[in-house]
Amino acid sequence: MDTKLLFQDAAGFQTPLLAVFAVDIAVGKDAEPLVALLTTSDSVADSAAKVLASGEFKATVGETLLLHGPNGLKTERLVVVGLGKAKGLSVDEVRKGAGTAVRAAKPLGVREMAIAFPEDHALDDEHLETLPCALLSRVLVEGAEVAEKDWDTYRSERKDRSVRSLSVIAKEAEKSTRAEIQEGFDAGVIVAAAQNFARSLVNEPGNVLTPTELGKRAAAMCSEMGLKCEVHSTAKLLELKMGAFAAVAQGSEQPPALIVMTYEPKLGKGEALAKDAPVLGLVGKGITFDTGGISIKPGDGMEKMKYDMAGAAAMIGAMQAIAQLKPRVKVIGVVCSAENMPDGKAYRPGDVVTAMSGKTIEVINTDAEGRLVLADGLHYAKTLGCTHLIDAATLTGACVVALGIVNVGLFSNDEGAWQKFTDATKISGEKFWRLPCTDDYKDQIKSHIADMRNTGANRWGGAISAAMFLKEFVGETPWLHLDIAGCAWHDENKPWIANGPSGVALRSILEWVRGYSD
């Protein structure tokens, strides 16, 4: 989608479809909705006044009202998009609103559209102090660009419902304000493109996106963005003594891929990062297809296991955005990619494998393979000099049972790293819920024959057992673990996003990285 920013009056902009945002400014739990448009254009307000006065439109999040031939406007259609209550309006609602506007255009066959930039001073008593114009501009673009994608990639008779052009129309403003809006807009385009790239990787079927192919696509992105990239396979795993990672890969005819992406901030002449400057390690689980191995999964729903590399995709996409947004901090991305297959050479329940760190692991269930590849990935990132670590993985069904499909499970061994991530979510708009990984749970992964086992001693707290396992490989290094299993794939269409890959965690990881920029 060709997205551009224009500074002019939305009422005079000629377009097949103009979207304007609305909020409910009513106060009180049981108060009747009182709808207000986030525009100071009298022409736009007048064109919708009669139908808004009827009360049929409540301005709830994702609600739309379509008007044909609105009086006084040059647009052919006007769509009013609800953002919910004005009080407490957050970046999440604005993203969803922009996405809803774009999704609403698709069934109409609209190829070109515009969105009126929300003006908080359109409200008499409410102001959006928590949403500065740069952030508003960014999240609007992110929501719109992410919403435009549909994932029927391999259908031979695809219906082209793409919105090819989007204009964001901001009213004439002071030079400084225009600069802020432009800055946010530019960042939004970058972040949305990275998220959509990650989503496109997750959407690919396992017969297309093998570990080798994932490595090729990551390398191509790095070449385009000016990042250093190395892609290794079986020989390197054996050289590094990555026994846990190699064990998972050995059951497939497809070789594994160890992908290492490095971002070095460009500094001015005579500048240098402090000697104690952090080096951030982004580690992603890249199981391009997961049958469960010898502990094979039930057939029902196994086709979704192509998305078991969503953590890796989030890290690859984050590196793309980092390369363009240029934070002043070194970042190393490590992706451990393999297939988990039930071949005669596959690792078995009862096997004992030795991780790169030297720790031995009793394999209880070969379907707990993600933590094995991450164990070696996290330790390897430390050997590369990473001082802070974050991993993302579709790791456990237990996390989905605990948190459903709304919140990502978050675990951490460091309060400072966790607080920076919490601050990041205020911008990303993504939802996480912190779960414990204290030593009280360590007995769950004790083994009689090895240093640890790869699943808990019982079914209770399965997501925590997995986090406790990973914790053994980070030591004292500040670390965050994101279990994205419940949120990496949307099973249903929503007003603001198509069903399919979500790209979850990428925005939060990116903002966490930027939080360390000096």
d(Cα 342, Cα 144) in Å, to the nearest integer? 42
The identity of residue 330, as a single letter, is: K
pLDDT number for residue 88: 83
Share of the chain above pLDDT 90, in %: 92
Task: Find all residues with CB under 8 Å of 505, minimum gap 6, and list them.
Answer: 311, 314, 392, 408, 430, 482, 484, 487
**pLDDT tens for residues 362-386?**
999 999 999 999 999 999 999 999 9
Residue 206: pLDDT above 70? Answer: yes
What confidence score (pLDDT) does residue 109 get? 94
Q: Which helix (H) or strand (E) holds 491?
A: none
Mean pLDDT for the stretch of residues 198-210: 98
Q: How many angstroms separate the Cα of 483 from the Cα of each of 209, 357, 465, 479? A: 22, 23, 12, 13
Q: Tell me how far apart the alpha carbons of residues 50 and 46 are, in angstroms, rounded to a whole number.
A: 8
Q: Indicate the annotated binding residues for Mn(2+).
A: 285, 290, 308, 367, 369
> Tokens in use for 267?
């500094």
Closest CA to 144 of 313, 317, 3, 325: 3
Average pLDDT over residues 133-145: 97
Instruction: Provide mean pLDDT across the span 440-447.
Output: 97
Q: Considering only CA atoms, which of 356, 391, 367 is closest in space to residue 462? A: 367
Overall average pLDDT of the 202-225 stretch: 98
**For residues 111-130, average pLDDT:** 81
DSSP assignment of 260-274:
EEEE-----TT----
DSSP 3-state of 231: strand
**Cα–Cα separations (whole angstroms), residue 344 to 224, 291, 370:** 40, 14, 20
Residue 29 has pLDDT above 90, yes or no: no
As annotated, the binding site includes: 285, 290, 308, 367, 369
Q: Quick one: pLDDT at residue 123?
A: 80
pLDDT band at 408 (very low <50, low <70, confident <90, very high): very high
pLDDT of residue 131: 85
The arithmetic mean of pLDDT across residues 11-17, rounded, is 97
Give the per-residue pLDDT at 84. 96
pLDDT band at 30 (very low <50, low <70, confident <90, very high): confident
Q: Give the per-residue pLDDT at 172.
A: 76
**161 phi, psi to nearest 5 deg:** -120, 25
pLDDT (average), residues 383-406: 98
- Determine the 3-state secondary structure of 20 from DSSP: strand
Per-residue pLDDT band for 96 (boundaries 50, 70, 90) equals very high
**Domains along the sequence of the chain with CATH:** 2-152+161-191 (3.40.220.10), 230-265+278-486 (3.40.630.10)
228-276 pLDDT per residue, tens: 999 999 999 999 999 999 999 999 999 999 999 999 999 888 888 888 9
| The pLDDT value given to residue 52 | 95
Output phi, psi for 414, to 5 deg. Answer: -145, 125
What is the identity of the amino acid at 480?
Answer: L
Q: With 80 as the cut, is the pLDDT of residue 128 above it? A: no
- The dihedrals phi and psi of 362, each to the nearest 5 degrees, come to -85, 125
**pLDDT band for position 434 (cuts 50, 70, 90):** very high
* pLDDT one-digit tens code per residue, 354-364: 999 999 999 99
**Residue 127 pLDDT > 70:** no
Tens-digit pLDDT profile for residues 153-193? 999 988 888 999 999 999 977 898 999 999 999 999 999 99
pLDDT at 350 over 90: yes
pLDDT (0 to 100) of residue 124: 66
Q: Catalogue the long-range contacts made by 33-40 (C-beta closer than 8 Å, 24 or more residues apart).
A: 33/58, 33/59, 35/59, 36/86, 36/122, 36/123, 37/80, 37/122, 38/83, 38/116, 38/118, 38/119, 38/120, 38/122, 38/123, 39/10, 39/116, 39/118, 39/119, 39/122, 40/119, 40/121, 40/122, 40/171
- Residue 272 is predicted with a pLDDT of 86
Is 297 designated active site? yes
Residue type, 276: D
Average of pLDDT values for 513-518? 93
Mean pLDDT, rounded, of the chain = 96
The distance from CA 160 to its chain's CA centroid, rounded to whole angstroms, is: 26
Total residue count of the chain as it appears in this document = 518
β-bridge pairing 165-170 and 2-7:
parallel
Any catalytic annotation for residue 138? no
The active-site residue out of 77, 138, 199, 371 is 371
Catalytic residue among 297, 328, 442, 494: 297
Give the angle subtended at the CA of 266 by the CAs of 259 and 220, to the nearest 5°.
Answer: 30
Rg (CA), the chain: 24
pLDDT band per the 50, 70, 90 thresholds, residue 331: very high
- The answer to whether residue 125 scores a pLDDT higher than 70 is no
